[in-house]
Structure 1
Amino acid sequence: MPHSLLAFPHESSLPIWLVNDATWPGILEKFPEITRAFAKAQGFEAKVGTHCLLPDTDGNILGVAFGLDGKDAKRIDPFLPAKLVTLLPDGVYRFETQAPNPTLATLAWILGAYSFDRYRKRPTKSVRLVPPEGVNVDEVSRIADAITTSRDLINTPTSDLGPDGIEAAARKLAEKHGAAFTTIVGDDLLKQNFPMIHAVGRASATPPRLIDFAWGKEGAPRVTLVGKGVAFDTGGLDIKPAASMLMMRKDMGGSAATLALADMIMGANLPVRLRVLIPAVENSISANAFRPGDILQSRKGITVEIGNTDAEGRLILGDALALADEENPDLIVDFATLTGAARVALGPELPAFFTDDDALALEISRFGDKENDPVWRMPLWQSYAAQLDSKFADINNTGGPMAGSVTAALFLSRFVTAAKAHVHFDIFAWNNATKPGRPEGAEVQAARLMYALIKDRYAS
């Protein structure tokens, strides 16, 4: 079903001319004199990201001119036309000149109009777009819905989305697509050999859990998604400073990205056997919280010394990845808001990814560029594995003061030994400022590119 921000073609839609230094003069000269005079009076020069509402001879809106690129632009952002969503008055619009990527421009139009209004109602606008010819409206709508639903999850504070809320969201998605759904909760995690998930989450009033659902035909290529679902992270006994806790509701961003990707895969009915694993916990503080210096057993049989209780995400992922690995899947993809080190290295807009599969890495980079879902490969530099050495256990959960995202990825790689391929995404899951198609607040990173990759790999 087409998204509500899209409209079918009709005569009343207003044209948007996407222009640059070279094309604007030729388009301008075709307008009535009053329109040309108005544009000149406004000083519109087709600079990147600028717009001008153009009047007709009766003073009504004739259309919109939008600066798409200029002589100094090194790259045209495919999402850039979506900047208009928040600038234009209510109405129905169409691209009169072709966007560089019509599909991405349409998707960004929907994503750019997103707002989180669960707790504060905002004035609503109705700025709708007639999709350009050739755009698969159903697929764009499905992808947009998956992303906006997961943005809502990340934006929701832990008071309304604890580990049980993550479970409820996953269950709702599984039911939507007819997937088989199970959970392991509380002390049952110990009985079924998920000791690290239990240890991290046991101090919370809401019990920890492992969410598990499967979809698709047996015998199809196995794709397993694993998402970090830390509903809130105090840091545990190695407590975070107050300022660092302000955004910790987004520490379940990995689980949200996983659910978004799963929704895309199932909605497109891709020919894979999909499994989704989400360890959902709250890293809290109480008398039974796990401690620095504790040595934890793991599902993989690896013993882990706790160097810092604030490095909890890799612990719960370790148990979940070990379970995923037991099926020897064709591909394991994990998403996690794992390290501040990745943000120091690459900033908030460019998630790091790690894999020892060079062919897969090239595909990821290619689809990241193609889908305007950027990521950057970081090395699984084996020499740094020594930073995880422990005198008392097989491995420590923290490394040294440098290369923190690399040592975290190396830690996770210890729990994947049988899968044909594994990629780990260290995401930020947040936009610090509004950009076209990416409003300030929650963001789903790397899911769109992995959907395109999986579709290309298994459905082509």
Structure 2
Amino acid sequence: MTDLSDRLQPDTGQAATTIHLVDEKSFAEWRKGQSPAIRNLLDARRYDGKSGYASMILPGENDEDWSVVSTVANVDELSPWCLSKLGEVLPAGTYRLANDLEPGPAKLGWLLGQHRFDRYLSQKPEDAGPRVLLTGKAARIDRTVALAEATIMVRDLINTTAEDLGPADLQRAIEELANEYKAEVTTHMGDGFADEYPMIYAVGKAAAEGREPRLVELEWGNKDHPRLAIVGKGVVFDSGGLDIKGAKGMRIMKKDMGGAAHAIALASLVMKLGLKVRLHLLIPTVENAIDGRALRPGDVIDSRKGISVEIDNTDAEGRLILGDALAKAGEDEAGLIIDYATLTGAARVALGPDLPPMFVNDDELAGALEEGAKAEGDPVWRMPLWDGYDKMLKSDIADMANSASSAFAGCITAALFLRKFVPAETPWVHFDTYGWSPSTQPGRPKGGEAYGLRAAWAMLEERYGL
């Protein structure tokens, strides 16, 4: 991973190339202040301050005296992404925003614009060298770098192919994180696992040797601090099981461990920035494969919580493994449970790829998440845990079914299924994230992407303090 730690620096008056930011409202006044030669150049290039992310180099009196002008949506309210393109394309050097403008949230995009996932390229892109941005808020540098690194962790884990990221590899990634922060890791698998975590085992039992299902737990922090559980769906590849997906639907199912990637990254932020909690990370990880042992439609399986579940659809497997992990989190008396999962296509139909629905059983918690989302430019949208749809999970022969009897409200019924495994008195939020950017935008290349990560972190900072 690109080392980003030196790409944000405190502004102590050092030499730097100036970046002028303009928007549609401020461009005309800014243009008046430029020399005739610059105004002529702007006119020749038809630079009007209106085109999103447009930028150009402005020459100075000598070769080394140059600056940059770039259009943003709103100079007074910078987004996380308005400097992303510049962070990507400018030559190595040190840069400062004009007029003592503080980059604020735009620092994140500046850093992310300088990273690319190139693991599988035979010819790596040439490194242009560090592009350093100066900031007047030195105290926020470590936080911004940590958020950028956590975002990159999510992206890189999702972008890694299923061949190279099986359950054992996801376990190793957690163990490496534990070694870095002196945390404790326990992996449950093998003998007795089917009895302890029957739903996780049922989903993953058809996988090849070496890719057996497991639950990986990490614990860190002062045992006297409030207990925070973070759970992530770790389906390293989802064929759909015997209810097999079509080719188009299966094409990017390496991303079905995106919930685990988010959970691991959020846990890394907790440890790196020293949140005052007792962290409990739980990653159920499986491959939803097909062989003679595969879970069948119509099977009835047990769960850790003792709820029997009839399998209506083997492609509704993520909620099964999360159910056992959420039950375990509840047994350990978590004060707050957060889960991430690439769970339903219905969520994408409802809200698209960039806006993850969140389901929250506590209004105060929901409000804090919405405030964090707004502050971080990391949008989320609250969806209802509508009790009236519980009946759609009814089974004729078991306590409940894993998939609704109707195609309606698919992301809601999935969340209601998960709610059965969470203690009613425990504050809980479930993010149904896509984990994937379907097209390239500045600072956000096509591929794995983090949604709802920064919103959750802002809420945790406010709730627990550093």
Which category describes the TM-score, using the shorter chain as reference length? over 0.9
The CA distance in 1 between the partners of 2:247 and 2:237, in whole Å, is 13
Aligned to 1:291: 296
Matched, 1:241 2:243: no
Aligned to 1:28: 31
Tell whether the 8 Å contact from 1:236 to 1:285 is kept in structure 2 after alignment.
yes
Amino acid at match of 1:346: L
Cα deviation, 1:94-138, whole Å, max 9, x if unaligned, reads: 211465x73311111111222100011223223513232014111
Matched, 1:194 2:201: no
The CA distance in 2 between the partners of 1:177 and 1:419, in whole Å, is 31
Pair 1:299–1:98, CA change in 2 (3 A): farther
SS of residue matched to 1:196: helix
Q: What is the Cα deviation at residue 409 of structure 1?
A: 0.1
Tell whether the 8 Å contact from 1:2 to 1:137 is kept in structure 2 after alignment.
no
Tell whether the 8 Å contact from 1:258 to 1:335 is kept in structure 2 after alignment.
yes
**Which is further off, 221-230 or 178-187?**
178-187
Amino acid at match of 2:395: S
Aligned to 2:106: 105
SS of residue matched to 2:105: helix
Aligned to 2:127: 124
Pair 1:291–1:187, CA change in 2 (3 A): farther
The CA distance in 2 between the partners of 1:209 and 1:2, in whole Å, is 33
The CA distance in 1 between the partners of 2:291 and 2:191, in whole Å, is 17
1:41-80 map, 5 Å: 41-47=44-50, 48-58=52-62, 62-69=66-73, 77-80=79-82
2:173 corresponds to which of 165, 169, 177 = 169
Tell whether the 8 Å contact from 1:94 to 1:131 is kept in structure 2 after alignment.
yes
SS of residue matched to 1:102: coil
SS of residue matched to 2:66: strand
Tell whether the 8 Å contact from 2:189 to 2:213 is kept in structure 1 after alignment.
yes
The CA distance in 2 between the partners of 1:365 and 1:442, in whole Å, is 23
**Which is further off, 203-212 or 24-33?**
24-33
2:257 corresponds to which of 249, 252, 260 = 252
1:329-408 map, 5 Å: 329-399=334-404, 400-408=406-414
SS of residue matched to 1:263: helix
The CA distance in 2 between the partners of 1:25 and 1:202, in whole Å, is 65
The CA distance in 2 between the partners of 1:240 and 1:186, in whole Å, is 28
Tell whether the 8 Å contact from 2:4 to 2:111 is kept in structure 1 after alignment.
no
2:90 corresponds to which of 88, 97, 100 = 88
**Which is further off, 50-59 or 172-181?**
50-59
Tell whether the 8 Å contact from 2:78 to 2:106 is kept in structure 1 after alignment.
no
Amino acid at match of 1:454: L
The CA distance in 1 between the partners of 2:64 and 2:223, in whole Å, is 60
Amino acid at match of 2:147: I
Pair 1:56–1:39, CA change in 2 (3 A): same
Cα deviation, 1:62-85, whole Å, max 9, x if unaligned, reads: 211111237xx9986342222222
Aligned to 1:414: 420
Aligned to 2:141: 137
Amino acid at match of 1:39: L
Cα deviation, 1:18-52, whole Å, max 9, x if unaligned, reads: 11234333333433332222122111111132212
1:277 corresponds to which of 268, 275, 282 = 282
Tell whether the 8 Å contact from 1:326 to 1:418 is kept in structure 2 after alignment.
no
TM, length-normalised to structure 1? 0.94
Cα deviation, 1:317-359, whole Å, max 9, x if unaligned, reads: 0000000011221100000000000000000000000012111
TM, length-normalised to structure 2? 0.93
SS of residue matched to 2:315: coil
The CA distance in 2 between the partners of 1:316 and 1:347, in whole Å, is 25
Tell whether the 8 Å contact from 2:94 to 2:134 is kept in structure 1 after alignment.
no
Tell whether the 8 Å contact from 2:78 to 2:103 is kept in structure 1 after alignment.
no
The root-mean-square deviation of aligned C-alpha atoms, in Å, is 2.0
SS of residue matched to 2:8: coil
Tell whether the 8 Å contact from 1:325 to 1:418 is kept in structure 2 after alignment.
no
Tell whether the 8 Å contact from 2:6 to 2:132 is kept in structure 1 after alignment.
no
The CA distance in 2 between the partners of 1:133 and 1:8, in whole Å, is 6
SS of residue matched to 1:80: coil
SS of residue matched to 1:130: strand
Q: Which runs of 4+ in 1 moved over 6 A?
A: none
The CA distance in 2 between the partners of 1:224 and 1:54, in whole Å, is 51
The CA distance in 2 between the partners of 1:349 and 1:187, in whole Å, is 41
Pair 1:147–1:227, CA change in 2 (3 A): same
Tell whether the 8 Å contact from 1:163 to 1:207 is kept in structure 2 after alignment.
yes
Q: What is the Cα deviation at residue 190 of structure 1?
A: 2.0
Matched, 1:114 2:115: yes
Percent identity for Structure 1 against Structure 2: 44
Kindly tell me the number of residue pairs found equivalent between the two proteins: 456
**Which is further off, 60-69 or 406-415?**
60-69
SS of residue matched to 1:131: strand
The CA distance in 2 between the partners of 1:278 and 1:34, in whole Å, is 60
Tell whether the 8 Å contact from 2:10 to 2:136 is kept in structure 1 after alignment.
no
SS of residue matched to 1:433: coil
The CA distance in 2 between the partners of 1:346 and 1:130, in whole Å, is 34
Aligned to 2:213: 208
The CA distance in 1 between the partners of 2:24 and 2:424, in whole Å, is 55
Q: What is the Cα deviation at residue 3 of structure 1?
A: 1.6
SS of residue matched to 1:334: strand
**Which is further off, 355-364 or 153-162?**
355-364
Tell whether the 8 Å contact from 2:358 to 2:383 is kept in structure 1 after alignment.
yes
2:18 corresponds to which of 11, 15, 20 = 15
Aligned to 2:231: 226
The CA distance in 2 between the partners of 1:310 and 1:61, in whole Å, is 60
Tell whether the 8 Å contact from 2:329 to 2:337 is kept in structure 1 after alignment.
yes
